[in-house]
Structure 1
Amino acid sequence: MLAAAWRVLLLLSPPTLSTDVYRYVWDGRIQRLGYDPYLVVPSNSDVRHLHTAETLLMNHPDFPTPYPAVAELFFRAVALVDDSARAMKSAAFLCDAALVAILLWWLSASHRSRWWVLTYAWNPLVALEGAGNGHVDLLGALALVLTAALLTRGRRTASAVGFALAIGVKFLPLPLAPLFWGRIRLRDAALGVGILAALYIPFLGHGQLPLGSLGGYLVRWRVNAPVYTALEWVFPTKGLVGVPVALGFAVALWTRWHLAVDSPEAWAWPVATTLLFAPTVFPWYLVWVTPFLFTPRALPLAVWTVSSLAVYWPLPVWATMVVEYGPVLGVTGWMWAQSARARRATISTV
């Protein structure tokens, strides 16, 4: 009830920390009017008549959309009801509520305390980026936690489809693919790939891949990414964009063979590793790991989801890095010291 109360207050307020929701409104609106968001550049004068007062507020109007097909179809579905920021935020709010329900089901089915749901419901990042800013990452997190819960229950086909839908919102969970090795059938994987490919069909037919400005985004944008920036300074090559995915994939391989399928860390750490080394780390990207923080070993990630909000503070870049990543390193060091002390105590007892 408390979580719902402050979300409603945010829902009724205009977005103040990000203008991405206005891009969502634009993408949904022009699809409804028969245009392809992967081709149309919002700032072009010949589409000026398609704008509303809200869509003129979007950021980076000189680029077509970078979002994958599932996100685009989601925007279109919302726009069919109402092409407004309030409608997009309401849709994110509903995804948020559905995610809470699925988490409760997963916690109950895995014989964990259902009170762990508060690690998600009371996380300020989720409320701000969902009901507050209407980010589509809530839809992706919903698909991903549903994927994990279904795989835990042995529903392989549905889990593969859920994973395909999560990738179709944003490509961020791609490194989690090793978690499905040996746990789903080949036909399940083929079905998931086929459904994702089919969702791109409405955007084909123009002689180019429907990726929009995604490539330019990966090459140009550098925000809140100290690790990637340092690597790029030492190794100035475009090939670095593959490093975060490769490292996330490697962590997923380790978790596949060392952690149980219902372990939330198995899902959280590969995504978090990818983000840690990514060229751009906006706070709302961390929404993807927030459903999996119901374990003490995920404490550093829980701290990061809160400290990442420092990006919104009017601080110098160096101070933002200290405020955001300092607590994460501190908690990680404390946990490592506690673990080392416990190991030494065990050895001395033996």
Structure 2
Amino acid sequence: MSKQLNRLLIPFLGLLMAAGFYYLGYFVPRENFWLTFMLFSSLFAGMAAVYYLGKAPKWSLIFIAGLFFRLVLLPATPNWSDDYPRFLWDGELVRMNQNPYLDTPEGLLQNNPERANSYLNSLFETMNSPQYFSVYPPLNQAIFYLAAWGANLDAKTGVLILRVILILGEIGVFFLLLKLFDHFQLPEKRLILYWLNPLVIMEITGNLHFEGLVLLLLLASLYALSKNRNLLSGGFWGLSVGMKLLPLMLIPTFFSFQKTRRSTVFWIGSALALVLSFAWLLIDSSWVHFLQSLKLYQGKFEFNASVYYLLREVGFWVKGYNVIGEITPILSAVTLLGILYFSWKKKPQNLLQLIDLWGLIYLIYLALHPVVHPWYLIPAFGLSLFTSKKAFLIWTFAVIFSYQAYGDPNYQESPIFLFLEYSILALAVYWDYFRQKTHLKTIS
């Protein structure tokens, strides 16, 4: 393709994508699956075209384009997620000097109506799980508090503040990816796959999910480790656990990686960050309700699963009822054993091998977990850009099939769409782990 045509085509694609994000973010509810699917697919194709057509744009142009796509969504009310009312509810309680872990929203309004106000009542009306205690760790609560403090009883302002915080985190992800790609001598072109990815933009900026901040902290941990700042590396990893508990499953890899296993300051930094993140749960025994919600989440909810759904069907056939309470502990145990086994077997010798192991651990977890929301993929996808594996990139497209459930009046998932999603993923995993030989550079 000629340079002149390339210079014209890339800006044109950028404008079309901006229009697509605008329409998707403001006018397409998640219940309209086919329109969602067509627009999302077009945006994914646009990202792929920018990546594959001719010479890659300079990183500064990539940054400006992706930032513009995010800013297009700045004043939008999330169309694809109803999690944000709980974020604002918890933040408002903290602003009122109340403990968000002590009462469920339903319980607070029924038993202590004097503690509520019209703003909390309006949030309650749009909340998706008012009968459960808050499952969000204290670091999340700190961000919710900032949004509530700035919002001053206005939900739209609260959403705007949350979105600005998440966009700032995404900017941090971009520049950490840029720094680490340079450190590992990887092409800057890979930035396109994250920064212009429609799943990343819609689920973090559009739907206000915090996996982007988890990725930010994991990348910060890796960058600090690459600079031999082990205290900071441990601290950033500990904070990533404080943001979302899931990075805790990476702890066996630090014991199998010599650079961290023998570093006392790494473990000191990790411990300090974990104490800072979770000590607040000791107030009024908040940890009791927090763990209760986690237990309910692990043993009651199911969405977009793969292995779990297959086992559940076997359970229906054998016992005649949903055996989620029996399957979930078994799958959790298998996940733990898989993490321990591969951490011991692979014994990463450098940072790229450590990152590759992290990707495998995320894959094991998500394959066996009964709940796989699309935004769960984002930290693993960002890490996968340091490897030659493409499964998570492909999954960031295929996971859009899970939104079919919202188009059903009863939120019933279609086996056909689940089969499509996981067949595509299975082929990608087969290619990554059984056909394609991965060559990792030995740069620590």
Bin the TM-score by the shorter chain.
Answer: 0.7 to 0.9
1:4-51 Cα deviation digits (max 9, x unpaired): 222122233210111112211111111111111112211232254260
1:303-340 Cα deviation digits (max 9, x unpaired): 11221121113374212212311211223344567548
The answer on whether the counterparts of 1:21 and 1:88 sit within 8 Å (CA) in structure 2 is no
CA distance in 2, matches of 1:322, 1:10: 32
CA distance in 1, matches of 2:379, 2:432: 23
Match of 1:319 in 2: 416
> Any residues of structure 2 matched to 1:137-176 within 5 Å, and which?
137-176=211-250
CA distance in 1, matches of 2:343, 2:76: 39
1:251-299 Cα deviation digits (max 9, x unpaired): 34444x1463134423222122211111211001111112223256320
1:156-176 Cα deviation digits (max 9, x unpaired): 111100110111111111221
CA distance in 1, matches of 2:75, 2:283: 40
> Any residues of structure 2 matched to 1:260-279 within 5 Å, and which?
260-263=350-353, 264-279=355-370
CA distance in 2, matches of 1:278, 1:337: 22
Q: Using structure 1 for the length normalisation, give the TM-score.
A: 0.88
C-alpha RMSD over aligned residues = 2.5
Instruction: Could you tell me which runs of 5 or more consecutive residues in structure 1 were left unpaired when the two chains were aligned.
Output: 343-350
Are 1:190 and 2:268 counterparts?
yes
Distance 1:208 1:40, change over 3 A: closer
1:159-218 Cα deviation digits (max 9, x unpaired): 100110111111111221123223232343133223312333333232352525111111
Equivalent residue in structure 1 for 2:126, among 53, 57, 60:
57
The answer on whether the counterparts of 1:248 and 1:271 sit within 8 Å (CA) in structure 2 is no
> How many angstroms does 1:249 deviate by?
4.0
1:220-267 Cα deviation digits (max 9, x unpaired): 111111212334555835522343344234334444x14631344232
Distance 1:5 1:205, change over 3 A: closer
CA distance in 2, matches of 1:198, 1:17: 33
Match of 1:118 in 2: 192
Are 1:289 and 2:365 counterparts?
no
1:39-82 Cα deviation digits (max 9, x unpaired): 22112322542606345322111112111222222222333333
Distance 1:178 1:330, change over 3 A: same
Instruction: Please state whether the residue corresponding to 2:208 is helix, strand or coil.
Output: coil
CA distance in 2, matches of 1:171, 1:215: 13
Match of 2:136 in 1: 67
Match of 1:203 in 2: 281
Amino acid in structure 1 at the alignment position of 2:341: A
The answer on whether the counterparts of 1:103 and 1:145 sit within 8 Å (CA) in structure 2 is yes
Q: Structure 1 vs Structure 2: percent identity of aligned residues?
A: 22
Match of 1:347 in 2: none
Distance 1:140 1:338, change over 3 A: closer
The answer on whether the counterparts of 2:249 and 2:339 sit within 8 Å (CA) in structure 1 is yes
CA distance in 2, matches of 1:94, 1:285: 20
Distance 1:81 1:250, change over 3 A: farther
Amino acid in structure 1 at the alignment position of 2:425: V
Question: Highest CA radius of gyration, 1 or 2?
Answer: 2
Q: Using structure 2 for the length normalisation, give the TM-score.
A: 0.70
Distance 1:249 1:175, change over 3 A: farther
